[in-house]
């Protein structure tokens, strides 16, 4: 069992609005292909990210990161595009984008910098994010080319 600090995030999403919150928490999180796993027999997609703690960013300049596990249940299928499973290739998550079906189904796309994406076909939205371990101080604040203008 992994001990987590009292201010760690532990979130669940069961609808589009909830998933928007998880997407915001994961904005600019980084991972590698080997940290992404589809388990078809369990109908689960799981990932481990190093996420910037946007909720913990202070004017004191401290840049804190934390490992976070994310998983989706009720996954009916997974497709990927422009995606490398190379353990050395860093993937930067831009957003989770969701399209809800009228019957409770959903399509969730994990969009990464550089155009890579993973598309999850879901029977229903059932997502969980859990911070794992202690945060650490990082040297960089996430930025995008438009931020560097």
Token pair of 120, please? 């999850």
Domain assignments of the chain as residue spans, ordered by start: 10-135
Dist. CA 69–CA 128, nearest whole Å: 8
Q: Taking a C-beta distance cutoff of 8 angstroms, is the pair 43, 37 a contact? A: no
pLDDT digits (tens, 9 = 90+) for 31-66: 999 899 999 999 999 999 999 998 876 656 677 899
pLDDT digits (tens, 9 = 90+) for 61-104: 677 899 999 999 999 999 999 987 777 889 999 999 999 988 98
pLDDT band at 117 (very low <50, low <70, confident <90, very high): very high
Q: Which residues pair with 69 in a beta bridge?
A: 48, 130
Helix (H, G, I), strand (E, B) or coil at 17: helix
Locus of tokens 């997609």: 45
């Amino acid at each position: 069992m992994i001990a987590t600090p009292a201010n760690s995030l532990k979130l669940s999403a069961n609808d589009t609005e909830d998933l928007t919150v998880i997407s915001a928490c994961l904005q600019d999180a980084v991972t590698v292909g080997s940290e992404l796993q589809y388990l078809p027999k369990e109908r689960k997609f799981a990932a481990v990210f190093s996420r910037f703690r946007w909720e913990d960013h202070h004017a004191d300049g401290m840049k804190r990161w934390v490992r976070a596990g994310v998983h989706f249940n009720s996954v009916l299928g997974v497709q990927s595009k422009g995606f490398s499973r190379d353990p050395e290739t860093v993937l930067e998550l831009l957003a989770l984008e969701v399209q809800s079906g009228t019957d409770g189904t959903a399509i969730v796309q994990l969009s990464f910098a550089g155009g890579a994406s993973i598309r999850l076909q879901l029977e229903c939205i059932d997502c969980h994010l859990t911070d794992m371990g202690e945060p650490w101080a990082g040297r960089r604040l996430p930025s995008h080319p438009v931020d560097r203008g």
